[in-house]
Amino acid sequence: MFGHRSHPALRFALKTAFTTLACCLIAHPIAGMAEVNDARTRVDQVLKGMNRMHGLGPVAISPDGTMLAFVHQQKDGWGVSLAPMSDTTKLTRISAAKKPSGRCGEGMVKWAPDSRRIAFVGDCEATGKASQDDIFVATLNGDLAAGQMKAAVQRLTDAHGEVGFPEFSPDGTKIAFLYVEGATRAAGALAAMKPWSGVIGEDGIEIQRVAMVDADGKKPVKPTMATPSQLHVYEFDWAPDSKSLAYVAADPPGENNWWVAKLYTQSLGSEPKAVFAPAEAKGELHGLQIAVPRWSPDGKQIALIGGLMSDQGSTGGDVYLLSAEGGEPRNVTAGRPTSPAWMTWSDNEHLFVSELAGGNSELVRMDVASGKADAPVFNFAGTPGDGQYEMSLSATSDRSLFVFNASSFDHPMEIFAARTGGATATDLAGLRQLTHLNEGLERVWGATESLTWKNEGFDVQGWLHFPKDYDAKKKYAMIVLVHGGPAAAAQSQWGGWGSLTGTAISALGYFVLEPNPRGSYGQGEAFAAANRKDFGYGDLRDILAGVDAVVAKYPVDNGRVGLTGWSYGGFMTMFAVTQTNRFKAAVAGAGISNWQSYYGENSIDQWMTPYFGTTVYKDPAVYAKSSAINFIDKIKTPTLAVVGDRDGECPAPQSFEFWHALRDQHVPTQLVVYPNEGHRFVNPEHRTDVLVRALDWFAKYMPAGE
């Protein structure tokens, strides 16, 4: 529900404008800027330094391991380039025809099994359709290493809607992809919701389906729908015989029903078959969530990730196997103290699993019969991914080499490779660096340490950012930044996305603690589920124990500790200041103040039942227990609240209710509602404004340095 990680539909959201919904809640976000001119100057300087990185998008290695394809920022927009694995500095641009404006965007690059064709999503061809993505294929000829490569690019689709995630069939004859025909917004709850009108829940529902196109098409054609109109598809995988699909899907509306999605298989041209429904399961997956279906090479089994997940796209849990014909899944990783996020089959007996282990990311090869894993192929404090799914990696057909983007708090994003067959030349934590596009880029924030502390039987991990230009002889203020989710984790990555990032706050002179309390990924499913029916209690105690650990060891002024967070972090901010006066100032981004009213206001109420045990109508007490509004008379902490006016995940009335209550209690407070924004802000001016206002708020009540 509150994931802070990248969303599959983000590119669509960034390119799409929405009509403003004006109402009494809207406060113009730029009003009163005379009071924060100094803060804006400082923030602008920090953001300028943080945005110097050369942008990297999806990356893919050819199945034969000879070529690298990746998306990166170029003079005319985001484009696809090729490089030989023997020398990744030799780049060859592959592109469709340019738009008349000269700027375009390409992404989501995927190889065909023959290693001679590349599918990608782009809007570069001048079709007369503004900002419309289509599926393209580049057919390669020549020797790339010798600089003699040529590419014939063909637009395959005449699409009208949202297009993404192309996948060649194993025989290379077809390309399947996710498609929302006639889309007017991104297919997900992070984007701004459409203004309410018409028959609510029935009119204007957009459905994401698997569509197909022939891979050798000679002209653009309308996509052929492969899955039925009554199912919203989230993820899919080809069967090894190229005749069937496996996919996770639910009844529309898609943004609400992922939490009750089922696993389907479907022979092309036939009706789908539900082979697993968590709501009907008798085992440990009963009522939980599933993701990342992957068909075994022999077609007999399907692997998936199952567990308690608060957000579609923010994946973690255990690895399960079930027969392709259906039945109860078998837990392969039961009791493993990690959070698998993605996997691919090595052979019929082994899986490669990409997982979060404490604060680190790692790749392991696992025996599916015993559940035992080999020593990690890599393990490092950073965030890897090929740009497709959470922690997904691109691999050669023999799984001897994995390629991905990676960054950390100390290392800007580059493309790396990890070889599974033994030692290789390394540049970063056992990884071989393939690109040097951000060579020499220095961080503008302070150093970072991974910390662990004990609390109530848990070993809790978190990240401590030191202030920029740290002086051990001085005393500093500290801001605790709580991640979204709660099924997510604060990870080491360069810069970060959004307004309230630990790196940006560190650059502005504060210590920053980013804790991963119970409910987070990284320590197994039991830890991730340890906050069920307990929001704001055990996880807050974990956070406060972390604050104590930092104050005891580092020069942090115990009287100047603040709190912030977005989404679930926004809820934790609102709730924490009703439970303790430890925090001297707070900034709540897209928070929740009243779980009882929230249940009937948000667009994704299905996520709540697994966490609270039932609906609010059957057990209002469990919802009231964690509602800040019920403890509002205890609050003393000055709190700023910010939210988007069309946030479907954490609707603006929740922030309005909190602000109204604080004002009534004569507690210093302010509410800023940003027009045309959903749960994830897309307007750069708004993201900057949030950070400016947060800095000004904290500076007013707890300045950074002595």
- Whether the per-residue pLDDT at 3 is higher than 60: the answer is no
Q: Which of 528, 519, 523 is nearest to 338 (CA)?
A: 523
Instruction: Kindly provide the residue ranges of all beta strands, DSSP E only, lying in 330-400, ordered along the sequence.
Output: 330-331, 339-347, 350-357, 360-367, 378-380, 383-385, 394-395
Contacts of residue 213, defined as CB under 8 A and 6 or more positions apart, other chains included, come to: 135, 156, 157, 174, 175, 177, 221, 223, 224
The 10s digit of each residue's pLDDT in 364-405 is 999 999 999 999 999 999 999 999 999 999 999 999 999 999
For residue 1, being part of any structural domain is answered with no
- Whether the per-residue pLDDT at 27 is higher than 90: the answer is no
Amino acid residing at 239: A
DSSP string, 635-697: --S-EEEEEETT-SSS-HHHHHHHHHHHHHTT--EEEEEETT--SS---HHHHHHHHHHHHHH
Asked if the bond preceding 486 is cis, omega within 30° of 0, the reply is: yes
Q: Are 94 and 151 in contact (CB under 8 A)?
A: yes
The 10s digit of each residue's pLDDT in 289-347 is 999 999 999 999 999 999 999 999 999 999 999 999 999 999 999 999 999 999 999 99
CA distance 80 to 51: 21
- Whether the per-residue pLDDT at 4 is higher than 50: the answer is no
Match 């894993």 to its residue by tokens: 373
CA distance 27 to 325: 55
pLDDT value at residue 46: 81
- CB atoms under 10 Å from CB of 251, counted, come to 14
- Whether the per-residue pLDDT at 199 is higher than 90: the answer is no
Reported as a pLDDT band with limits 50, 70 and 90, residue 417 is very high
pLDDT value at residue 150: 81
Do 25 and 92 reside in the same domain of the chain? no
Q: Which of 462, 407, 469 is nearest to 444 (CA)?
A: 469
For residues 427-443, give the mean pLDDT.
84
- Among 68-82, 275-289, 464-478, 643-657, which is the least confidently predicted range? 68-82
Do 232 and 92 reside in the same domain of the chain? yes
Task: Report the relative pairing of strands 134-141 and 117-122 from DSSP bridges.
Answer: antiparallel
Residue that finishes a domain, picked among 400, 433, 466: 433
Residue that finishes a domain, picked among 368, 402, 433: 433
Do 481 and 346 reside in the same domain of the chain? no
Asked if the bond preceding 253 is cis, omega within 30° of 0, the reply is: yes
Tokens for 442, please give them.
């220095």
Looking only at Cα atoms, what is the longest distance across the chain? 73
- Whether the per-residue pLDDT at 430 is higher than 90: the answer is no
Identify the DSSP state of 629.
G
Percent of the chain with pLDDT over 90: 75
- Whether the per-residue pLDDT at 94 is higher than 80: the answer is yes
Q: Are 550 and 464 in contact (CB under 8 A)?
A: yes
The 10s digit of each residue's pLDDT in 265-294 is 999 999 999 999 999 999 999 999 999 999
pLDDT value at residue 100: 53
Do 140 and 61 reside in the same domain of the chain? yes
How far is the CA of 194 from the CAs of 44, 187, 229, 257, 682, in angstroms? 31, 11, 21, 17, 15
- Whether the per-residue pLDDT at 8 is higher than 60: the answer is no
Amino acid residing at 192: A
Three-state SS annotation for 64-88: CCCEEEEEEEECCEEEEEEEECCCC
The 10s digit of each residue's pLDDT in 529-578 is 999 999 999 999 999 999 999 999 999 999 999 999 999 999 999 999 99
For residue 43, being part of any structural domain is answered with yes
Residue that finishes a domain, picked among 433, 462, 495: 433
Instruction: Kindly provide the residue ranges of all beta strands, DSSP E only, lying in 430-528, ordered along the sequence.
Output: 432-433, 448-455, 458-465, 476-482, 511-516
* Side-chain half-sphere exposure of 599, counting CA atoms within 13 A: 18
Beta bridge partners of 342: 354
Contacts of residue 262, defined as CB under 8 A and 6 or more positions apart, other chains included, come to: 248, 249, 250, 274, 276, 277, 278
In CATH, what number is assigned to the domain containing residue 358? 2.130.10.120
pLDDT value at residue 125: 66
- Whether the per-residue pLDDT at 633 is higher than 90: the answer is yes
- Whether the per-residue pLDDT at 171 is higher than 90: the answer is yes
Do 380 and 296 reside in the same domain of the chain? yes
Reported as a pLDDT band with limits 50, 70 and 90, residue 631 is very high
Q: How many domains does the chain have?
A: 2
- Whether the per-residue pLDDT at 428 is higher than 80: the answer is no
In CATH, what number is assigned to the domain containing residue 452? 3.40.50.1820
Q: Are 520 and 58 in contact (CB under 8 A)?
A: no
pLDDT value at residue 228: 97
The 10s digit of each residue's pLDDT in 103-152 is 678 899 999 999 999 999 998 765 555 678 999 999 998 877 777 778 88
Do 386 and 277 reside in the same domain of the chain? yes
For residue 202, being part of any structural domain is answered with no
Tokens for 24, please give them.
């009494």
pLDDT value at residue 38: 75
Do 386 and 335 reside in the same domain of the chain? yes
CA distance 411 to 493: 8
Tokens for 702, please give them.
């707890």
- CB atoms under 10 Å from CB of 643, counted, come to 30
Do 320 and 223 reside in the same domain of the chain? yes
Beta bridge partners of 212: 176, 224
Tokens for 5, please give them.
């990680």
Identify the DSSP state of 634.
G
pLDDT value at residue 427: 56
pLDDT value at residue 424: 52
For residue 168, being part of any structural domain is answered with yes
Contacts of residue 324, defined as CB under 8 A and 6 or more positions apart, other chains included, come to: 239, 246, 265, 275, 295, 296, 299, 300, 301, 302
For residue 193, being part of any structural domain is answered with no
Bigger pLDDT: 27 vs 590: 590
pLDDT value at residue 130: 60
pLDDT value at residue 9: 35
pLDDT value at residue 44: 81
pLDDT value at residue 124: 78
For residue 393, being part of any structural domain is answered with yes
Do 66 and 48 reside in the same domain of the chain? no
Do 127 and 104 reside in the same domain of the chain? yes
pLDDT value at residue 200: 74
Tokens for 675, please give them.
């027009």
The helix/strand/coil state of 631 is helix
Which span out of 46-60, 155-169, 181-195, 419-433 was modeled with the highest average pLDDT? Answer: 155-169
Q: Are 545 and 455 in contact (CB under 8 A)?
A: yes
Do 31 and 109 reside in the same domain of the chain? no
For residue 331, being part of any structural domain is answered with yes
- Whether the per-residue pLDDT at 71 is higher than 90: the answer is yes
CA distance 170 to 147: 29
Do 395 and 378 reside in the same domain of the chain? yes
- Whether the per-residue pLDDT at 355 is higher than 70: the answer is yes
- Whether the per-residue pLDDT at 15 is higher than 50: the answer is no
Identify the DSSP state of 595.
H
Alpha helices in 105-262 (DSSP H): 254-257
For residues 213-223, give the mean pLDDT.
95
pLDDT value at residue 255: 87
Range of the domain at 17: 10-52+447-701
For residues 410-430, give the mean pLDDT.
77
Match 């790396």 to its residue by tokens: 416
For residue 175, being part of any structural domain is answered with yes
Reported as a pLDDT band with limits 50, 70 and 90, residue 73 is confident
